[in-house]
Amino acid sequence: MRQKFIISRNIDKNNLKISEYAILTRIPKNTAALVQQKEQYSLLGQETYDGEMVETSIDRGKRALVATLRTNNLFPIQPYANKIAESVMALYKSADDDSTELFFDDVDLLPMPEE
């Protein structure tokens, strides 16, 4: 499955929002990457976090942040959760409102066949 996470920080509201999207239609194997990125992503879930809670978790480390970011509505697998946490940490190093998009493809997690 191909997924996209949009992570947005709003300093005025002191919150962080993470939206999870996925391509729910089948994509042929030989489709070029550029064509795949233009596929329609469907919103799967969205979570808004209190900024102070996120900052406290960042201070406690990446594992604590991953635990904070995982909820009943948003529970990415460990490799994705780690990347999301790293992106959140980078956003909080900036002094501005900012957002980032992360793209994941489950195929990348499969072992490569031996030749």
| pLDDT score, position 95 | 78
The overall pTM is greater than 0.95: no
CA gap 106, 115 in Å, rounded: 21
CA gap 64, 56 in Å, rounded: 9
Residue (of 88, 80, 27, 24) closest to 61 by Cα position: 88
Residue 18 near residue 105 (C-beta atoms within 8 A): no
pLDDT tens digits for the chain (115 residues)?
A: 899 999 999 999 999 999 999 998 876 666 655 455 556 899 999 999 999 999 999 999 999 999 999 999 999 999 999 999 999 999 999 878 889 999 999 888 888 777 6
Q: What is the identity of the amino acid at 87?
A: S
